[in-house]
């Protein structure tokens, strides 16, 4: 059942469940953060409405900086502003930010140790029709490997709102990953959010959990469908929302592995280097258990609908269900 | 008020002392870059002892001007100049590039107070200086009196990011931004015009919206006047193209691109010290 302590969306499994993109939550959260703290500035690369930074631009035009189509400059201008006491949110599509400007992020942001918040929009294969060039499925890997860099993948629009406000208050260089499509709203405004604290979204009502599923991003809604399905078949699973890939909530990962002895990870990202790899790094040293990873298997994206692409990469209901069945055999 | 002849004489002597410590420091380290630090000694001397508002005893003083060294590999000249200005003890210059030293192979902001930004990977300093200048304008308006200096190498401007930043500096009309490019005509693989031609260089910067001043980068008076002029230009960022002779001060090494990235050996150090003591 959905964890009652987190006050999640009770309509999650109904037809009329609210849908909203995580980028919208970010845009709304940034305005709130900007209202609280005048040191917050926003920079964008000619994609202001697309990454939903136009809300901030309208509210605080004097603190919005249009950088043009120049992502390398974006990261380093943000670094310079941070050196003067600003908390810059630097946004573009994830493919270019942190894709194209990785070295600028590593050196001028993280090595320099300044509180720049890298905002990567349109991440994952669900960007859909734009095709493989625009589907960032390596961004978690390339950011989490940078020392000091914190990496956040909000599960839905509400969480993106809270996460944006939360990262605005830290000194850490941070990457926040956003998605384009409208996706189901899993949490509510009453659901808490804390950087680095994973959330048990689903736990068996009475029976013990046989599989632990660790997930991030909007695909978690499908993971919860799968959990719901198994619950009805009398099989208990537990679902952990790992919205913070780094610093990872190691205690939660280890506790889940000890409880279930089987772990499945789910992410709209390459299997290599992403959430699954990060979880495996924790478990292999602390409590190795059988593991499966759902994710893109070393191929590029392509054009199609989000549903078609998620299905192709085993990130739909059937794909995830089969992997969970497999690990229980 | 312009720089006086007495100040020029004093700074010329200071620049020579800085060159001596640069070659000593590099020889002791046995690793590092020689040509750029030597040819930028006059510019650094003028900046730290005439043009810039700063306080070596309070490196975090909020009212200071900011200096971004974009081509971080010439940091020996930055370190030696800072030591002469009183940021740290000159004895530390013996620890260049040594494990545990504040004087990292390329400058690291967190290792040495007074370093504004970590650098080394080429092409990102101008962007950072643009960000700093913009942030100050947001907070304090166009006439805060604070200036932002960005020092670059000419070979470095092969990098596309430099021109992204240049476009933005022009767009934002950053009158508080003063850049100096070390136009020594060499880079690691050879002469700049053979590797990737930069000329017509002044025209390029002008086209991007800069007030461009070409000077003799070894003439203290010209350097000081150009920076004073840059401070007076309100509506545009300033680019000072400092025409320099690589490895300036050691005639045996001058204009030879092989000295870009290597330090002097003991016998070569003596050649340099003899030349600089004349």
pLDDT along chain A (329 residues), means of 10: 97 97 98 98 98 98 98 98 98 98 98 98 96 97 98 98 98 98 97 98 95 98 98 97 98 98 98 98 98 98 97 98 97
Architecture of domain B5-277: 3-Layer(aba) Sandwich (3.40)
The percent of residues above 90 in pLDDT, for chain B, comes to: 98
Q: Classify residue B50 by its DSSP letter.
A: I
Taking only the tens place, the pLDDT of each residue in B92-122 is: 999 999 999 999 999 999 999 999 999 999 9
**Per-residue confidence (pLDDT) for residue B119, from 0 to 100:** 95
Q: Classify residue B48 by its DSSP letter.
A: I
Q: For A64, which residue in chain B has the nearest alpha carbon? A: B138
Do B173 and A74 form a contact (C-beta atoms < 8 A)?
no
> What superfamily does domain A20-184 belong to in CATH?
Thiamin diphosphate (ThDP)-binding fold, Pyr/PP domains (3.40.50.970)
Phi, psi of A237 (to 5 degrees): -130, 160
Taking only the tens place, the pLDDT of each residue in B203-227 is: 999 999 999 999 999 999 999 999 9
Mean pLDDT along residues B49-61:
98
Phi, psi of B177 (to 5 degrees): -105, 125
Taking only the tens place, the pLDDT of each residue in A118-177 is: 999 999 999 999 999 999 999 999 999 999 999 999 999 999 999 999 999 999 999 999
Instruction: Tell me which of A41, A84, A89, A96 to substitute to probe the interface with B (most B C-beta atoms closer than 10 Å).
Output: A84
Of B110, B131, B139, the CB nearest to A77: B131
The b-or-e profile of A153-184 (16+ CB within 10 A means b, else e) is: bbbbbbbbbbbbbbbbeeebbbbbbbbbbbbb
Q: What CA dihedral angle connects A60, A65, A71 and A72, to 10 degrees?
A: -130
Residues of B in contact with A100 (CB under 8 A): none
Residues of B in contact with A92 (CB under 8 A): none
Gap between the Cα atoms of A148 and B76, Å rounded: 28
Which candidate in A71, A150, A231, A268 is catalytic?
A71
ipTM topping 0.85: yes
Q: For A112, which residue in chain B has the nearest alpha carbon? A: B118
Residue A113 tokens read as 């140790």
Residues of A in contact with B109 (CB under 8 A): 112-113
The percent of residues above 90 in pLDDT, for chain A, comes to: 99
Please indicate whether, in this complex, the C-beta atoms of A108 and B138 are within 8 angstroms of each other: no
- Domain boundary assignment for chain B: 5-277
Please indicate whether, in this complex, the C-beta atoms of A80 and B138 are within 8 angstroms of each other: no
Mean pLDDT along residues B245-269:
95
Mean pLDDT along residues B180-191:
96
**Per-residue confidence (pLDDT) for residue B220, from 0 to 100:** 98
Q: For B68, which residue in chain A has the nearest alpha carbon? A: A80
A4-16+193-328: in CATH 3.40.50.740:
no
Instruction: Tell me which of B104, B105, B128, B176 to substitute to probe the interface with A (most A C-beta atoms closer than 10 Å).
Output: B128
Instruction: Tell me which of B66, B105, B131 to substitute to probe the interface with A (most A C-beta atoms closer than 10 Å).
Output: B131
Of B68, B117, B138, the CB nearest to A62: B138
**Per-residue confidence (pLDDT) for residue A118, from 0 to 100:** 98
Fold identical between A4-16+193-328 and A20-184?
A: yes
Q: Is A71 a catalytic residue?
A: yes
- Domain boundary assignment for chain A: 4-16+193-328, 20-184
**Per-residue confidence (pLDDT) for residue B278, from 0 to 100:** 67
Q: For A61, which residue in chain B has the nearest alpha carbon? A: B138
Distance from CA of A44 to the nearest CA of B (A): 13
């Amino acid at each position: 059942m959905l964890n009652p302590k987190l006050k999640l969306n009770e309509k999650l499994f109904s037809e009329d469940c609210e849908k909203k993109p995580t980028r919208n939550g970010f845009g709304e959260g940034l305005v709130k953060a900007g209202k609280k703290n005048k040191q917050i500035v926003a920079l964008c690369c000619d994609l202001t409405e697309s990454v939903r930074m136009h809300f901030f631009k309208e509210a605080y035009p004097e603190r919005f900086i249009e950088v043009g189509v120049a992502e390398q400059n974006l990261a380093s201008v943000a670094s310079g502003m941070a050196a003067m006491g600003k908390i810059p949110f630097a946004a573009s599509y994830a493919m270019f930010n942190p894709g194209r400007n990785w070295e600028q992020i590593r050196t001028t942001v993280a090595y320099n140790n300044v509180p720049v918040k890298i905002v990567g929009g349109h991440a994952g294969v669900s960007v859909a029709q734009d095709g493989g060039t625009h589907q960032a499925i390596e961004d978690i890997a390339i950011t989490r490997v940078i020392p000091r860099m914190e990496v956040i993948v909000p599960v839905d629009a509400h969480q993106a709102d809270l996460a944006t406000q939360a990262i605005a208050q830290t000194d850490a260089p941070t990457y926040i990953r956003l998605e384009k499509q409208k996706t189901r709203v899993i949490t509510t405004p009453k659901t808490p959010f804390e950087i680095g604290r994973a959330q048990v979204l689903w736990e068996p009502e009475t029976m013990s959990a046989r599989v632990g599923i660790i997930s991030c991003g909007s695909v978690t809604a499908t993971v919860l469908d799968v959990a719901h399905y198994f619950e009805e078949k009398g099989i208990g699973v537990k679902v952990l929302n790992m919205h913070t890939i780094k610093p990872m909530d190691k205690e939660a990962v280890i506790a889940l592995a000890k409880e279930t002895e089987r772990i499945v990870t789910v992410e709209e990202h390459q299997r290599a280097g992403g959430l699954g790899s990060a979880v495996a790094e924790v478990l292999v040293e602390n409590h190795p258990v059988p593991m499966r990873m759902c994710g893109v298997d070393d191929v590029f994206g392509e054009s199609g609908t989000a549903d078609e692409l998620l299905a192709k990469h085993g990130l739909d209901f059937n794909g995830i269900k089969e992997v969970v069945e497999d690990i229980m055999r | 008020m312009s720089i006086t002849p007495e100040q020029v004489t004093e700074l010329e002597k200071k620049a020579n002392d800085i060159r001596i410590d640069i070659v000593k420091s590099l020889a002791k380290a046995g690793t590092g870059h020689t040509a750029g630090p030597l040819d930028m000694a006059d510019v650094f001397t003028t900046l730290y002892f005439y043009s810039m508002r700063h306080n070596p005893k309070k490196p975090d003083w909020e009212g200071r001007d900011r200096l971004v060294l974009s081509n971080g590999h010439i940091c020996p000249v930055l370190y030696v100049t800072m030591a002469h200005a009183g940021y740290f003890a000159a004895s530390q210059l013996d620890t260049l590039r040594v494990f545990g030293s504040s004087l990292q192979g390329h400058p690291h902001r967190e290792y040495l107070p007074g370093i504004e930004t970590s650098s080394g990977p080429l092409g990102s300093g101008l962007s950072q200086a643009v960000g700093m200048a913009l942030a100050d304008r947001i907070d304090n308006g166009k006439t805060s009196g604070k200036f932002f200096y960005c020092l670059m190498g000419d070979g470095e401007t092969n990098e596309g990011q430099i021109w992204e930043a240049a476009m933005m500096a022009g767009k934002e009309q950053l009158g508080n931004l003063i850049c100096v490019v070390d136009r020594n005509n060499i880079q690691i693989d050879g002469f700049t015009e053979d590797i990737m031609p930069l000329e017509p260089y002044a025209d390029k910067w002008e086209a991007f919206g800069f007030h461009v001043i070409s000077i003799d980068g070894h003439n203290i008076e010209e350097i000081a006047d150009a920076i004073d002029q840059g401070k007076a230009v309100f509506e545009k960022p300033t680019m000072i193209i400092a025409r320099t002779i690589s490895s300036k001060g050691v005639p045996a090494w001058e204009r030879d691109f092989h000295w870009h990235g290597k330090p002097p050996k003991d016998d070569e150090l003596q050649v340099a010290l003899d030349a600089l003591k004349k």
